[in-house]
Amino acid sequence: MFGSGKARPRPGVRRRGIPALIGTVFATLALLIATPNAATAADRGADDAPAFGSASLGSEIRRHEGGDRVTADSIVTPLATVEGVDVSSHQGNVAWSTLWNAGNRFAYVKATEGTSYRNPYFAQQYNGSYNVGMIRGSYHFALPNNSSGAAQANYFVDNGGGWSGDGRTLPGVVDMEYNPYGATCYGLSQSAMVSWIRDFANTYRARTGRDAVIYTSTSWWTTCTGNSSAFGATNPLWVARYASSAGTLPAGWGFYTFWQYTSTGPTVGDHNVFNGAMDRLQALANG
């Protein structure tokens, strides 16, 4: 009855005391904590995935293979070497005079990735390195599961990857390394990967008259091409290894042309050496 001060329990429902209620609440919380939310886990995985276009020369080699910080005076190389850097959108607008004053004499700039990404800082980086006096070139981050080698070579050439015989422009680079967005070898068999690289290299040569430089690590090359020796006679090698020596090279190459020896140098960008004196670097630019 309204105003009686007593609430009548509903039929079939037994009233429970406060201790039982508290126990139920804690049991429910424990269950929620112990059972991960599938949607939340999926969202977290998506957030951790790299953004398209964020890959740069050696970014995935560093992530997969690691390596110590190496300083220039600890490198085991021929006596005649030239220092240089490689940059991408991660570096933004680069202070090229600082890099020049630090002794760098060449630069490679990321131009493209796949067939839809262009480095938004390309003009400042590519022209800025040239204007300060460096010999410069550009590179393409390959996505062999995205489109054909020919399609990506054409996209590269059309968006900063061309070559001119001005004596200050290096041949373009195809960056072959671990897939930042999925399977290590992009879902390709070893023979299919070799065919893809050949398609890129042949198209680049047809468009520019130059043989593309191939950037890779010995580990990735062995895993994804079966350590193919198909390119050593034609395409210069840029090997990545963050140690005190370049180590064992991929099959087919008796020497490297460039060596990326550290990603944590004293100045901006990854650091590299050219395997020769300045006049040989100029000869490579001249073709």
Residues with a catalytic annotation lie at 86, 175, 177
Q: What is the CB neighbour count within 10 angstroms for residue 260?
A: 27
- 249's tokens: 């090279």
Q: 121: how many CB neighbours lie within 10 A of its CB?
A: 19
Calpha distance 250→231 (Å, rounded)? 10
Q: Are 159 and 111 in contact (CB under 8 A)?
A: yes
Give the integer Cα–Cα distance in Å for 278 and 134. 11
Do 257 and 234 touch, CB atoms closer than 8 A? Answer: no
For 278, phi then psi, to 5°, come to -60, -35
Q: Which residues, including other chains, have CB under 8 Å from residue 52's CB and lie 6 or more apart?
A: 113, 114, 116, 117, 181
Give me 42's structure tokens.
């999926």
- Residue 163 CA, chain-centre distance (Å), reads 22
Of 190, 187, 194, 175, the closest CA to residue 226 belongs to 190
β-sheet bridge partners, residue 239? 216, 259
